[in-house]
Amino acid sequence: MRGEFPSLRFLRPGMLSCISGITAVVAGVDRCMVCIMSRASSQLAFFLCGCYMAALGVHAGEHYVADHHKAGYYVAAVYEHQSILSPNPLALTSRKEALELMNQNLDIYEQQVMTAAQKGVQIIVFPEDGIHGFNFTRTSIYPFLDFMPSPQLVKWNPCLEPQRFNDTEVLQRLSCMALKGEMFLVANLGTKQPCHSSDPGCPNDGRYQFNTDVVFSSNGTLVDRYRKHNLYFEAAVDAPLKVDHIIFDTPFAGKVGIFTCFDILFFNPAIQLLRDSEVKHIVYPAAWMNQLPLLAAIQIQSAFAIAFGINFLAANIHHPSLGMTGSGIYTPLKSFWHHDMESSKGHLIIAQVARNPQGLVGTENATGKMDPSHSKFLKILAGDPYCEKDAQEVHCDAATKWNMNAPPTFYSEMMYDNFTLVPVWGKEGYLRVCANGLCCYLLYQRPTLSKELYALGVFDGLHTVHGTYYVQVCALVKCGGLGFDTCGQEITEATGIFEFHLWGNFSTSYIFPLFLTSGMTLETPDQLGWENGHYFLRKSRLSSGLVTAALYGRLYERD
């Protein structure tokens, strides 16, 4: 999806690898700040620190490896790969030359598999386009394609049966890696399938060409393959005539689903897979170009895990000059991720993952004493009068509950869409902004004011740039400057701290919580759920300045 959306002491400024709840920001050679969420026990914090160290490859990882067969857990890895690219992807080349290039990338894959094997990894995921690269034409990509037999029709171990099919050198190497590393392996490659002119869908050149994910078991057997359905300006390959809904079984995690990059924004196959209640894990190769403020890779990956209460193993390609970085192992409650726009090297993430992920606490089963802000939020939804105080008097209007001195509404482009926004001024407030049928609300408090402009925005309509899909969005964002026209710009640093409830009267149940704080760090909502016909996100105690907090709704039926 092009243009889509070693040792700790060697990390450089600007490099970031984090755990939601434990955030390490390296500001210098010997400087590391670790922040632990207050609700985490000391035992959990110690365990997470061990995982973090293992993901970065420092010596503490040895302690972590010793416990990798903990009951109810498995060890997963994703590799963000800085791929070696063809110097001229439009030029015609031979199969031999294509294999020479791909083997350079496969050599790196093999090194990562062997490193992961030493850590007890049971499944590893590699990114989209990591082996062959991108920006090919239909003709120029052909020498890079492997023949792909259907795993549903043919049981095959390419490593042990290399002569069975021609043009399968890449599949053979991947199979041997899985066998040698004794782990499940997920990778992406280009594949070809001959077709006959009697096939009405057969392209004029007599073959289908697919963007394909493959899954190998720990003995090297080809378990399954997924052919990407939602292509992103990929003229070199075809979409399959019928959507692949691929779920494969593993001995350590049960059922696992798979899809690729741009697929994450559409109903098929992503949402359809999760209609199987036994699917609690997704593997996800991607070549995703970050687009702030709403669709950075780590934002949407984490949001998908939280929204569906699943584990999400995402491997993105690493090309910072193209805005491509952002991989992780995400669970509903904590995440292990990597975002680095400075380094030119790949990065291996390793984490211990629960076989049965635990989701966020919703309103229906929340326990404990209710804090005043949540009580106020519930009163507003129940229709009780809400009073706002300005410098001169108190306004209490039971009919509308809106301050007559409400901030002005303005318009600004965000993510190529025309958002309607209101500025977020003052240390506390209650705001509403509407567009079409969607109204977004914000109840907030700020311990201190920063010299920054924030805005509450709404969009309810068809997104038509770089893909066509219908979204409903409520977003609290930091603007690029102090002018209204800077709201929606791409920024990564912020200092504004908020405690807030964000909610809207969404007309879809498919809502993704996008949460990003300063320095490209992730936050987990305190609470998500439906209340009185509105979907809400609640958060207090931010670890750093807020960049984006958004509820990103998808209305698939209106695409």
- Per the listing, tokens 């899809």 go with 259
Contacts of 323 (CB under 8 A, 6+ apart): 289, 290, 291
Which residue in 49, 51, 176, 261 is the catalytic one?
261
What's 269's DSSP letter?
A: I
How many other C-beta atoms are found inside a 10 Å radius of the C-beta of residue 358? 10
Measured distance CA(513)–CA(431) in Å, rounded: 19
Q: Which of 60, 59, 108, 119 is nearest to 83 (CA)?
A: 108
Tokens 């977020």 belong to which residue? 424
The amino acid sitting at 13 is P
CB atoms within 10 A of CB 256: 26
**159: annotated active-site residue:** no
Counting every residue written for the chain, the total comes to 559
Between 169-181 and 95-118, two packed helices, what is the crossing angle to 10 degrees?
10
Query: Is 182 in the active site?
Result: no
Q: Of 236, 187, 235, 231, whose CA–CA distance to 212 is shortest?
A: 187
The one catalytic residue among 4, 80, 128, 452: 128
Helix (H, G, I), strand (E, B) or coil at 90: coil
- Residues with Cβ < 8 Å from 241, sequence gap 6 or more? 201
Could you tell me what percentage of the chain is helix, strand and coil, using 3-state DSSP and rounding each to the nearest 5? 20, 35, 45
Torsion of CA 514, 512, 255, 314, to 10 degrees: -30
Which of 119, 228, 478, 539 is an active site residue? 228
Q: Is position 228 annotated as part of the catalytic site?
A: yes
How far apart are the C-alpha atoms of 283 and 286, rounded to whole Å? 10
Catalytic residue numbers read: 128, 228, 261
